[in-house]
Structure formats: structure tokens, C-alpha cells
Amino acid sequence: MKASKFTDAQKAFIIKQAEDGTPVAEVCRKAGISLATFFSWKKKYAGLMPSVMNRLREFKQENAQLKKIVVDLALDKEMLQDIIKRKL
């Protein structure tokens, strides 16, 4: 997935502009983003400060790592159970 060229602070500022009454189309035009991008950011980050957005990203990355570990352990368990069954 392509990394965003916008920082969390910039995303928060863009969303805040629209919440303050600036038309969404104008905000998107100035920022150089599509309406779809704006609304997906708004859905994810509305009301969040940049520091909270950073923590959210870190939690998502940690969660992905933990899920990978669980999958690896489940595969190891399954392999070990197969070995035990073959020996019996």
C-alpha cells in the first residue's frame, strides 16, 4: 500500500477546515485530494488530534504483528500435533 504524502497533522487540519464551515470541495481542491479521500479520512480520523492518530497507527501495526505471531504459533501447534499422531 502506498504511503500517504500527508502527515497526521495535515490530515487533521484538512478535516478541521471542513468542520469549520469551508465547503468540502474547496478544501479538497486546495489540498489536492479527492472527495473520496477526504471522506475516508473523515470517517477514520474525525475528532482525533494528531498525537492520537499516531497512537492509533502504532496500535494497528502492533495488532498486525500480534496476529502474525498467533498464526505462526497456530501452524506450529498443528505441525506438532501431526507429529505426535504419527508416532502413536
Cα distance between residue 62 and residue 1, in whole Å: 17
pLDDT computed for residue 69 by the predictor: 97
pLDDT computed for residue 39 by the predictor: 93
Show the beta-strand stretches assigned E in the chain: none
**Each residue's pLDDT tens digit in the chain (88 positions)?**
566 788 888 888 899 898 888 999 999 999 999 999 999 999 888 777 778 878 888 999 999 999 999 999 999 999 999 999 888 7
- 55 to 6, 10, 38: CA distances (angstroms): 16, 16, 21
Give burial (CB, 10 Å; 0-12/13-18/19+) of 6: middle
Angle at the Cα of 48 from the Cα atoms of 45 and 51, rounded to 5 degrees: 110
pLDDT computed for residue 88 by the predictor: 73
